[in-house]
Amino acid sequence: MVTVEKICNVIHDLKPVLLMLTVQTTFAGVNVLYKLAANDGMNLPILVAYRFIFSTAFIVPLALLVERFGFFLWIGYIYTNKRPKLTWMILLQASCCGLFGGSLAQNFYIKALSLTSATFAAATTNLIPAITFVLAVCFRMERLGWKSSPGAAKVIGTVLGVGGAMLLTFYKGIDLHLWKTNVDLLHGKQHGPGGQHSSHDRVLGSLLAMGSCISYSIWLIIQTNLVKKYPCPYSVTALTSSLGAVQAVGFGLCTERHWGDWKLGWNIRLLTVAYTGMLASGLMFTFIACCVQMRGPLFVSAFNPLMLLLVAIAGSLVLNESLHLGSVLGAILIIVGLYAVLWGKGKEVKKVAQLCPVRESSVGSYNGAINGESQGSSFEVICDSDSKHSSLRSGNSESRRIEVVVTSSG
């Protein structure tokens, strides 16, 4: 018999997946709006600067409401009064997050877009899962585990996801007329980057595109360490957005000094910076911080190829773009690869949960803490599914750390 408790447990287990599906759907909207804003003639470095300005204005008050005054929002963690101290090291890591995940990655990407093509730039972003996986293994955030089925599933799933995204990008095949909306928000005009490029521009653009992917992957790695030391997703996003805004505005002022380009009106430009700032860089960055805290950087990056599929569907619906056979074949590989990664991560989480004396709940109060209190004493069991550690902390601040290592059975 299905009970309310079972339904809650299912929703709890699906929470990271639901959050990342929301993130990638929102990011797909960002790509469509980027295309519309570029078609309207908006300068892209200015767009990036405004994006993080709007993000800061949105997320800072929200962080105060949720994590300062205890206003509850269900996104993946439980509010607690045990707020860690904000140190200079945390500020340094947040500044690096604002650089690698914000201003640097975005400006690298849009510059590569102008030097190469939209197709090439979009294709290179699908290397993020592979780059993140390599970095996570190097920093011992993920175990390679070739001989275990979960480890092999993560590797194969990552390769399938990247391969599917590449197939979706470079192979078209026959046109598939699955639906016809007759909606074209571009009105048949394309003012975006394109045309002929010199060999020097293509080489530089390729390097910048790879730099954007590496920058984004480094952001996920740094954020994983940051949310462990300062497990406040809203505050982490507020720090990242505010410091990223300073960097993006500084870069924008150095490159675009014509004040007329900075004016916003009631048009697609305002809609783009509001949507990308408040939703994409504000709320979605918070979701990413929660998922990184719950499942690690590889889990988050594994969803990245899904965005290209969603962009293709959105383009066919509102930009009058055609779907091709390559899109369907690539989508199948992306979905199979994503399922393989999720299956592998799920097996690892269950294995760690069996070794811990309590139910694994890395989305509980800070760093996956499950608190228990009695009249005489209190204790806290911390179980971190990614680093494979757990610790027991007593009420008198004495802490004993128990290391649980999940070994391969094959």
- Asked whether residue 258 falls in the same domain as residue 379, the answer is no
- Asked whether residue 351 falls in the same domain as residue 378, the answer is no
- Whether residue 114 lies inside any domain: the answer is yes
- Asked whether residue 178 falls in the same domain as residue 280, the answer is yes
Helices 4-39 and 44-63, axial angle in degrees (round to 10): 150
- Whether residue 373 lies inside any domain: the answer is yes
**pTM (2 decimals)?**
0.74
With residue 336 as reference, give the H or E element that holds it: helix 325-355
- Whether residue 8 lies inside any domain: the answer is no
* Range in 28-42, 302-316, 353-367 the model is least confident about: 353-367
Res. 322 pLDDT band, cuts 50 70 90: low
How many domains does the structure of the chain reveal?
A: 2
Res. 184 pLDDT band, cuts 50 70 90: low
- Asked whether residue 155 falls in the same domain as residue 228, the answer is yes
| Residues whose CB is less than 8 angstroms from the CB of residue 150 and which lie 6 or more positions away in sequence, other chains included | 343, 344, 345, 347, 348, 351
Rounded CA-CA distance 279/284 in Å is 6
pLDDT at 202: 73
Rounded CA-CA distance 49/53 in Å is 6
| pLDDT tops 90 at residue 218 | yes
- Asked whether residue 114 falls in the same domain as residue 157, the answer is yes
Q: What are the structure tokens assigned to 118, written together?
A: 């939209």
- Asked whether residue 254 falls in the same domain as residue 374, the answer is no
Question: For the chain, how are helix, strand and coil distributed in percent, rounded to 5?
Answer: 65, 5, 25
| pLDDT tops 80 at residue 57 | yes
- Whether residue 6 lies inside any domain: the answer is no
- Whether residue 135 lies inside any domain: the answer is yes
- Whether residue 7 lies inside any domain: the answer is no
- Closest Cα partner for 284 from 83, 18, 85, 66? 18
- Segment 18-45, tens digit of pLDDT: 999 999 889 888 878 887 887 788 888 8
| pLDDT tops 60 at residue 366 | no
- Asked whether residue 314 falls in the same domain as residue 374, the answer is no
Q: Which percentage of the chain shows pLDDT scores above 70?
A: 70
* Range in 182-196, 225-239, 318-332 the model is least confident about: 182-196
- Asked whether residue 316 falls in the same domain as residue 248, the answer is yes
Res. 319 pLDDT band, cuts 50 70 90: low
Residue 376 near residue 366 (C-beta atoms within 8 A): no
* Range in 86-100, 192-206, 215-229 the model is least confident about: 192-206
- Asked whether residue 173 falls in the same domain as residue 251, the answer is yes
pLDDT at 264: 87
pLDDT at 46: 92
Quick check: helix, strand or coil at residue 400?
strand
- Whether residue 266 lies inside any domain: the answer is yes
In terms of residue numbers, what domain contains 372?
Answer: 365-403
* Partners of 152 in beta bridges: none
Q: Largest Cα–Cα distance of the chain, in whole Å? A: 75
pLDDT at 320: 65
- Asked whether residue 373 falls in the same domain as residue 334, the answer is no
Query: Which of 355, 375, 393 is the last residue before a domain boundary?
Result: 355
Quick check: helix, strand or coil at residue 145?
coil
Q: What is the amino acid identity at position 199?
A: S
| pLDDT tops 70 at residue 214 | yes
| pLDDT tops 80 at residue 334 | no
| Residues whose CB is less than 8 angstroms from the CB of residue 27 and which lie 6 or more positions away in sequence, other chains included | 280, 284, 307
| Residues whose CB is less than 8 angstroms from the CB of residue 341 and which lie 6 or more positions away in sequence, other chains included | 129, 153, 154, 157, 158, 161, 298, 299, 302
Residues in the chain: 410
- Asked whether residue 239 falls in the same domain as residue 370, the answer is no
How confident is the prediction for the chain on average, in pLDDT? 75
| pLDDT tops 50 at residue 361 | no
Rounded CA-CA distance 396/379 in Å is 9
pLDDT at 226: 92
Strands 175-176 and 323-324: antiparallel
Question: In this structure, how many other beta carbons lie within 10 angstroms of the beta carbon of residue 199?
Answer: 7
| pLDDT tops 80 at residue 80 | no
Rounded CA-CA distance 127/387 in Å is 24
Instruction: Decide which of 210 and 119 is more confident.
Output: 210
DSSP string, 170-217: H---SEE-S-----BTTTT---SS-S---HHHHHHHHHHHHHHHHHHH
- The average pLDDT across 356-380 equals 39
- Whether residue 2 lies inside any domain: the answer is no
- Asked whether residue 369 falls in the same domain as residue 222, the answer is no
Q: First vs last Cα of the chain: how many Å apart?
A: 37
Q: Which percentage of the chain shows pLDDT scores above 90?
A: 20
